[in-house]
A and B are shown apart, each in its own frame.
Chain A
Amino acid sequence: MMRLELVKRPQRSMLFSALSPFIAFVLTIIAGAILFALLGVNPLKAFQIYFLEPVSQVWQLHELAIKAAPLILIGVGLSVCYRANIWNIGAEGQFILGGIVGSSVPVLFPQFEGPLVLPLMLLFGMVGGAAYAAIPALLKARFNTNEILTSLMLVYVAQLFLDWLVRGPWRDPKGFNFPQTIQFNDSAILPELMPASGRANWGFVFALVAAVLVWMLMSRMLKGFEVRVLGASPRAGRFAGFGIKRMVFFAFMLSGALAGLAGISEVSGAIGQLQPVISPGYGFAAIIVAFLGRLNPLGIVAAGLVLALTYLGGEAVQSALGISDKVARVFQGMLLFFVLGCDTLIHYRIRLIGLAAPTLEAAPKLEEAR
């Protein structure tokens, strides 16, 4: 009988710290090949359709950027939370609230046009997301309530709230009873970056800027140091005079604001109106992005592009091979699983041993001691 044994490394392995996402990716590919084979599809052909064809033309790269933008924006914010050991898993709800509050401008004031509209919408989106994230933060800081469960419950509430709005008070009266708001006017639409070659909009730029800013915050500023200290050891943080409650609010509202910005960018950029569903699970996929990117804002940019590719690949195999596009979710879940498993290699060496091995190993040590 074989057994796994973990041996603590004297210090964290820089090698595996850098390699682990790549090992995880390779393992995901292997598991994916098995999955495709089980579905009766030639894995090589499937991978070509899944990973290569969606990025073989310029307009498709634009689509990649559209999908990657919300993932990066949300993932960057979540990385701050997770570094501080604060578990915001309700980004999906904050994304939706950002979309709703930001959309209030063009929906309630459709005559309001001009260059002010868009900045106002984006600001409202960030405020909406931050305010919604402040609820679990308040409950945690004030009542010590588990933020994992509260932030997640609020996702369901947000989805139902959006559903009510677009079927009820915000429904387009001329929309043939379809559950959607009016089409936003032109000044409420996020402009495309290079309309000549594809649809990608300013959302991707926001994502890159947010990644750089948060990277500076975390590596160059006192606040970032505070986040890391409180995350690694709340006790040490208290001695240093860092307030854990303030940190809960800071981390939640920062990530909420970024998720809200992602929400309103998606609504005003890619969709152009509010619908009952405005996210294919970006808020949850961004959790994977954050971990795959090593909770490092620059790594998250790369991870966001990878996850965006899994979405596009899912759509591609659905149309080309007739496989459910849920396969994207499976790939995403496996990726997170493998990256977490590989992260063990950073702190531990893994030994496969038989049950009799410990005594055999102990013997030479005894001799050395003599």
Chain B
Amino acid sequence: MDITVNILLTIATAATPLLIAAIGELVVERSGVLNLGVEGMMIMGAVGGFGAGYLTGSPWIGLLAAIALGAVFSLLFAVMTLSLATNQVATGLSLTLLGLGLSGMMGTSFVGQPGARLPNLDIPGLTAMPVIGRLLFGQDPIFYISIALTAAVMWFLFKTRTGLTLRSIGDSHTSAHALGIEVIRYRYLAVIFGGACAGLAGGHLSLVYTPQWVENMTAGRGWIALALVVFASWRPWRVLAGAYIFGAVWIGQLHAQAFGIPVPSQLLSSLPYLATIVVLVLISRNKRLTMMNTPASLGQPFVPDR
């Protein structure tokens, strides 16, 4: 029983950063913007979170720094693609390349240093309950944020007027503009929200998952988060399911390596990436369904006429 609980806990820890980054990107894409810079914003969050936590000794300040750095970094993308109408694919790529370089440079002196770790929740009486105690009341704070975030985004997108407006912009920025909606302003806010989420996801990696700084420690998670959004057909609860499936794959291959299964460890390590490809193929096979779900103006630059 204890082993099952432990495995479930590690799966949740592996799934949390994927979930947060993907939920943020989902909101961005629902507004019609494709930000391929998730990996870059995430690694900036990771290095910023670790650095602030390490320098101040407080993981909570680290957490805030991670969110702030991700948001500021995404602002760069927003200015380029929204105000200057640059190609979103190329700009997102350059954000990722810049983030990987910048984080490597900022983190040079952090390598090998012990970091601050966010403490797990501990409620007297509740956390000590058998089985469900640690699952429900004993996880790291970002886990609870991730679940709340998913619920909040679900409510926002489908139950509020602003959410409806955001979705309508994603489906047709021209019509939305004609109705007097400030397309660019909505998109700015969406992109910055996505950046803050990616930063938080990165912070989870360097403040909870492995409280240390390793170069390129995001290891493609930002890209997997992007794939998750496609896999989820732009629906929040499916992102939640997808993130936990991928978390399970990630943990599964780590456990398999630890048990010494006679398969090359490199093959096991490549499983999350191969699984991403397989999942993408399965989901995109049905062309009509994909087209129906995809925000119609996704990735297209918009310049308001006047």
Residues of A within 8 A of B285 (CB): 143-144
Interchain CB contact under 8 A, B267 and A160: yes
In the assembled complex, A287 has its CB within 8 A of some CB on chain B:
yes
Of B93, B99, B266, B277, which contacts A164 at CB under 8 A? Answer: B266
Chain A nearest CB: distance from B33 CB in Å?
Answer: 15
Q: Chain A: which residue is nearest B77 at the CB level? A: A337
Mark contacts of B263-276 with chain A using CB atoms, 8 A cut-off: 1 yes-contact digit, 0 otherwise.
01011011001101
In the assembled complex, B87 has its CB within 8 A of some CB on chain A:
yes
Interchain CB contact under 8 A, B277 and A154: yes
Residues of A within 8 A of B101 (CB): 326-333
The contact size tier of chain A is: 35 or more
Interchain CB contact under 8 A, A337 and B76: yes
Residues of B within 8 A of A153 (CB): 220, 223, 227, 273-274, 276-277
Could you count the A-B residue pairs with CB atoms below 8 Å apart for me: how many are there? 141
Binds B, one of A66-74, A98-106, A340-348: A340-348
Residues of A within 8 A of B90 (CB): 287, 291, 336, 340
In the assembled complex, A233 has its CB within 8 A of some CB on chain B:
no
In the assembled complex, B84 has its CB within 8 A of some CB on chain A:
yes
Interchain CB contact under 8 A, B273 and A157: yes
Residues of B within 8 A of A164 (CB): 264, 266-267
Given A157-B270, A340-B80, also A145-B94 (CB < 8 A): no
A61, B91: Cα distance in complex, Å = 31
Interchain CB contact under 8 A, A149 and B306: no
In the assembled complex, A303 has its CB within 8 A of some CB on chain B:
no
Interchain CB contact under 8 A, A330 and B281: no
Given A156-B220, A168-B264, A327-B105, also A341-B86 (CB < 8 A): yes
Residues of B within 8 A of A152 (CB): 220, 223
Given A148-B89, A149-B227, A150-B280, also A333-B94 (CB < 8 A): yes
Chain B nearest CB: distance from A161 CB in Å?
Answer: 7
Q: Chain B: which residue is nearest A340 at the CB level? A: B86
12 A-B residue contacts at CB 8 Å? A145-B277, A146-B284, A149-B227, A153-B274, A160-B270, A288-B97, A324-B105, A327-B105, A329-B97, A329-B98, A336-B93, A344-B86
- Top 7 closest A-B pairs, CB basis? A329-B101, A333-B98, A326-B104, A164-B266, A336-B94, A326-B105, A160-B266
- Which residues of B approach A to under 8 Å, CB–CB? 36, 76, 80, 83-87, 89-91, 93-95, 97-102, 104-105, 108, 219-220, 223, 226-227, 230, 264, 266-267, 269-270, 273-274, 276-277, 280-281, 284-285, 287, 290, 303, 306
